[in-house]
Chain A
Amino acid sequence: MSRWFRSEVMSYVSLIVNEDAAHNCLADIGKLGIIQFTDLNPELTPFQRRYVSFVKRCDELERMLRFFTAECEKFDLIIESAGDIDQFLNTPLDADDKTGSELLKSMEVELEAHEAQLRELNKYNEKLTTEYNEKVELQEVLQKTRRLFMGNNVPRHKSSPHSDEEDDYESNALLVDIDDNEEHETPRQRARDMDMRFSSITGVVSVEEKDRFERMIFRATRGNCYVRFSAIKQALNDPETGNLVEKCVFIVFYKSLSIENKLKRICNAFDAHLYSLPDMDDMASVDHALAENAQELVDSRTVLIKNQDTRFNLLRMLSMKAERWTWLVLREKTIYHSLNHFKSDVSGILRGEGWVIADQVDHVRDAVNRAHANMDMDMPSLVDFVPQPWPTAPTHFTTNKFTYGYQEFVNTYGIPRYREANPAVFTAATFPFLFGVMYGDIGHGIFLFCAGFFLISQEKKNDEANLNEMAEGLHMGRYMIVMMGFFAVYAGFIYNDCFSLGLNLFGSRWEFKGQEDNNVSENAEAYQKSDYGSAQSVYPFGLDPIWHVSSNELLFFNSFKMKLSVIFGIVQMFAGTLLKGLNAVFFQEKLDLFFEFLPMVAFSGSLFIYMIVLIVMKWSINWNSRMLSATCLELNGADKDTWGSNAYDGEWILCDNGNFCTPWGHSCTGTDTLEEKCNLDFGGSGDGCQPPNLITTLINIALQPGTVDEPLYYGQGGVQLVLLLIAFGSIPVLLLVKPYFLSQRSYRAVVHVDENAEAAEEDHEEHSFGEILIHQAIETIEFVLGMVSNTASYLRLWALSLAHSELATVFWDKAMLSTLNVNWFATYIGFIIFAGVTLGVLLMMDVLECFLHALRLHWVEFQNKFYAADGIRFNPYSFKNTIKESKT
């Protein structure tokens, strides 16, 4: 508990290690994660440091590993997990025996070999793919042109157009075109044979570029050529990127040489592969070329597949080892990075300094000694405490699974100052509790509890998995969610609220007239089953369910919840103020203790704690009896000794006139004031027999000091006057005393240090006094006004609780109740709506809302009373942290 309340004690040590043993020594310490090294060479830029070449080599190794990972992704290989980090760190590695540079060397050799092999295979693959693609393209070109030219025969003889394919149909149209052209130009020369008078080039271009390619050709040749495209169905691998590219075969018919040049240039620009074809008239040679190419295609495919197999096997091997290697490299890099923070005062010896958790210094010492022992070097104790600590010690808390979430929660606001009271301890209890006060509902709470419980059951799995930000947050807050659920259920029982319905668990202590025969009339009043004040009249736990059906339900709940909120608020804030006192005692800040903490306690105690006292007092006074005592009763011939009910606590006394009396024996005249009828004599118009309006009473403490209209106890006016004086008196103390002493202190210090320059320093001192005073004035105003506004702020506990229960009521009434009486189908739909809005609005949005408000109450209202939050987080040199960070 004390470890959670105040952060770990830190000591500043210096480590002296032999240069040769430094690597192994740090390799050991890194497993512990208990030391944070200070940079002893801040003046050196990164590249001037001692171990920069090693860091660079690690970077290089990391680059290779990234390359492997990228390659593995191309084959959809998943990098296999190297298991648990702790296990990795604690199993002795063969690497441990080696010195740092040996280890790096061996990894470099291994990885470089793999990289070279992989690069070679890739290069080879590129070449093979190019060749293979060429073969495929040639095959396609041959096939498609062959079909085109075969089809050409038909239109030449002007027979009926045959079109089994769209391709062919188009080509027919084309050839008719060409024929026409021909006839214009050389009408008679042209023989009807297979001789193509047009030159043509064929090739392959990617589908993406097709349109632009066509347009470009049209523009360049001014339409004096004819282009035909036909898509290749099978997409090809781009040799360089490995992406699939869709391509299509084209053939361009043209006439002149100048056009040919232009076309070739365009093809070049579009990266189109050109293929020369055998004479198309000679079917035999075409077929031969096709067959030959097909054979080559098969061969080259075999080689390509083989290459891919080799690559795949290599990568699979790499994918299994890659993560382990990455961790090793990270480890080495961290070591060298830390060694860069060391200073070499004497050659061969390195000195490092840093903060260590005080309890664990021995571990560090052990590690250092062990490393030297392994190297067979005799050196004296090498870990020493250094008296000169660097600015402030870092804050570190030992957390467990449960407290971790809350600690992070508090750290989000600000890291606690070194050794100051840690709000996380209190937050762990009050946060879920305040959440529960706002969210109080048995049904909804159970859902939340189950959700949290589910997260805890998945703990192991989630710990290892790489979760996204949202899931990670839920995982971190799993215990918080369970607690929130628990307190929501608890508060639900107190409010007796389950999906907005009351649970009659112990039997209501109230009854309506005619309730037994189900015949309660409208506006009927409920009466208590047993006597007021008796044990049977008290509902055993929480509120009586009868309130949920009474017409003054809201009035009652609001009054109850508002008072409860204010009480919780003031108690929590007062606890915060006490923590300030504890901090002052711990840090031995007498000024803070006597002139800040005590006035604060006086102020909040005299006004705000007193308010709680009044609330509780009003609750616990038997008003039935007091009011009865100031009521004139007619005897009407009742028994003169015991003539009343037992509602009056005192002794029944008969008055002088014997017939028209108050229970304590005052003779009523019919025009008596309450003051005369009441026997308490507390003063004011109520005189103690009238339940006071607390709000008016509280306001009048300040507005009409010394007088109380409706007192609760004797001498209330005087007590309140004293309290008011204490409260007002504490403000100037809070405001002025501390600055005065502070300025005195600094003045004296100045005089001691430099007596000659007194005049000069006076100016400076004047100035700083003003600053201190302004600072203190801000603190004072914040506290005094804050007490009022923060108390009001705690009313959100009531407001959110009200909102929650009202929403639940509306959903139940409108979605469920109104459909229950229609028919089964309406009920079915009604339930769907009810479940949907309950889930969406109450179980998600309202949870978030209450969460945020509870958070605010802690961060603002609670923590501003004592929490400095200007600490530095302890960031230990730890392999585990480094590896974990690299994962995300």
Chain B
Amino acid sequence: MSTVKPKTGTGSLETFNILHGFPEALVRGMRNSFLLDSDYHHLTQCETLEDVKLNLTETDYSEALADMDSISPPQMQSVAIQKLVTEFQYLRTQTIEPLSTFLDFITYEYMIENVMLLLKGTLSGRDINELIAQCHPLGMFKESTMRSIPTFENTPRGYQDLYQTVLVDTPVGPYFAMFLKESSQLMGGEVRNVLEEVEIEIIKSSLIKYWIEDFYQFSQTLGGDTAEIMGEILSVRADTNAINITLNSFGTPLNEPAMRTSDRKRLYPAVGHLYPAGTSMLTDVSDEDELGRVLELFPQYASIWNIHAAGGGDKSIDDAFYERDVQMLELAFESQMHCAVFYAYVKLKEQEIRNMVWITECILQQQKDEINKFVPVFSHHAPWRGKGK
């Protein structure tokens, strides 16, 4: 396993501040940079993107947007993400072990996504510069590494080479190695054929699975509140992934009985509330009804599933998941003396950026009815805050 073993935990109430008080104070100060309910309200009232930009000049994004002459949703997204990355990197420079490793763990997810984006992009023959521009800045390797990734052939041999020449140097290399090893074992030691028939999405799901498991182990070794809160967050994350993988497999080869146990089961993370009883049940699920029956047994997911089962354009299961995530992350952000606040910060900011993009897209496409379908962060009107307060 690639799990990094921290020398010491991050401590809890009494000891956390000795080493990590300053970065925590910093990130807590950034609580002020989130958009307020009134900001969202103003944004949804906008008629044009120019108005959006003007409204954002009243918020923390004003400096980031100041030097843009025109604005489009992707541009705004990249600027906002860039701002997040700058803040994150500032935090990263202020931290020491084991918190710094914790922050690095957050970035691994984006690295995996970037590698997969590059591989997928080259398959469809897109330009490498365009692909690099699309990559998430939090998961950037050195430019030369990024450029090397798509140069490998889309064959099992090529992936092997990719791992051996490029990814072995990167933090996500171990996950890739685990994937290759496991695949080859499954195929009876034939490394050559491993990747031929496996789709990129499956590689990605596996890598993310390894990442979640690894991150989970790491945060458990940190101990204290960090273990408790991050454990919960990552468990839910793992369950979400398991449910989504199952849901998305319907109608694909992955749902075929043979593939269910051999491949789909492998993609379920080995942590989370569903593991092991739930995931083994999910293995045998073949359509949505069966999935629903399995989730009935888990109250926390039953309600989310009901939203999906109820259908209707009101809310998708993704929205339901997002909403639950935001609630959990807000709680994590508001409690003290643990590392999960950093994770929560990144994820909440991401949600905020998603909201801004959603709003601007709605404005651009004149879809005013849809504009309120986002999950505001730290909103006073959130369902879990109790209305009318």
Contacts and interface: CB of A to CB of B under 8 A. Distances in A.
A265 B151 contact: yes
A209 B141 CA distance: 13
Interface string A106-150: 000000000000000000000000000000000000000000000
Contact of B166 (A59, A60, A209, A216): A216
A266 B45 contact: no
26 contacts: A45-B42, A45-B51, A45-B55, A46-B54, A46-B55, A46-B57, A47-B51, A47-B54, A60-B69, A63-B67, A66-B67, A209-B144, A212-B142, A212-B144, A212-B145, A219-B165, A220-B165, A266-B148, A266-B151, A269-B144, A269-B145, A270-B144, A270-B147, A270-B148, A271-B144, A271-B147
Interface string A35-54: 00000000001110000100
A47 B51 CA distance: 6
Q: Is the interface of A mostly helix, strand, loop or mixed?
A: helix
What 6 pairs between A and B have smallest CB-CB spacing?
Answer: A269-B147, A265-B151, A269-B148, A219-B165, A47-B51, A47-B54
Contacts of B199: none
A213 interface: yes
Contact of A213 (B45, B50, B144): B144
Nearest to A217: B165
Size category of the binding interface on chain A: 20 to 34
Q: Is the interface of B mostly helix, strand, loop or mixed?
A: helix
Interface of B: 42, 45-46, 50-51, 54-55, 57-58, 66-67, 69, 142-145, 147-148, 151, 161, 164-166, 169
B55 to A, nearest CB: 7
B54 A56 contact: yes
A458 interface: no
Given A46-B57, A209-B144, A216-B144, 19 more contacts: A45-B42, A46-B55, A56-B50, A63-B66, A63-B67, A63-B69, A66-B67, A212-B142, A212-B144, A212-B169, A213-B144, A216-B148, A268-B147, A269-B145, A269-B148, A269-B151, A270-B144, A271-B144, A271-B147
Nearest to B149: A269
Nearest to A206: B144
Contacts of A47: 46, 50-51, 54-55
Contacts of A45: 42, 45, 51, 55
Contacts, number: 55
Most buried by B among A47, A219, A271: A47
Contacts of B164: 219
Contacts of B161: 220
B79 to A, nearest CB: 14
A270 B54 CA distance: 40
Nearest to B52: A47
Interface in A54-68: 56, 59-60, 63, 66-67
A266 B144 CA distance: 8
B153 to A, nearest CB: 10
Most buried by A among B46, B142, B148: B148
Contacts of B50: 47, 56
Interface in A194-248: 209, 212-213, 216, 219-220
Most buried by A among B50, B54, B57, B142: B54
A219 to B, nearest CB: 4
B69 A271 contact: no
A772 B66 CA distance: 50
A47 B151 CA distance: 48
Nearest to B142: A212
Contacts of B55: 45-47
A479 to B, nearest CB: 36
Interface in A261-312: 265-266, 268-271
A268 B165 contact: no
A46 B58 contact: yes
Nearest to A63: B67
B132 to A, nearest CB: 11
A266 B148 CA distance: 6
A271 B145 CA distance: 11
Contact of B165 (A59, A67, A216): A216
A216 B165 CA distance: 6
Given A45-B45, A56-B54, A216-B165, A268 B142 contact: no
Contacts of A265: 148, 151
B145 to A, nearest CB: 8
B166 A268 contact: no
A551 to B, nearest CB: 51
A750 B79 CA distance: 57
Contacts of B58: 46
Contacts of B145: 212, 269
Contacts of A212: 142, 144-145, 169
A46 to B, nearest CB: 5
B28 to A, nearest CB: 24
A88 B142 CA distance: 50
A45 B54 CA distance: 9
A45 B144 CA distance: 46
A599 B148 CA distance: 86
A69 to B, nearest CB: 12
Contacts of A209: 142, 144
A56 B142 CA distance: 38
Contacts of A271: 143-144, 147
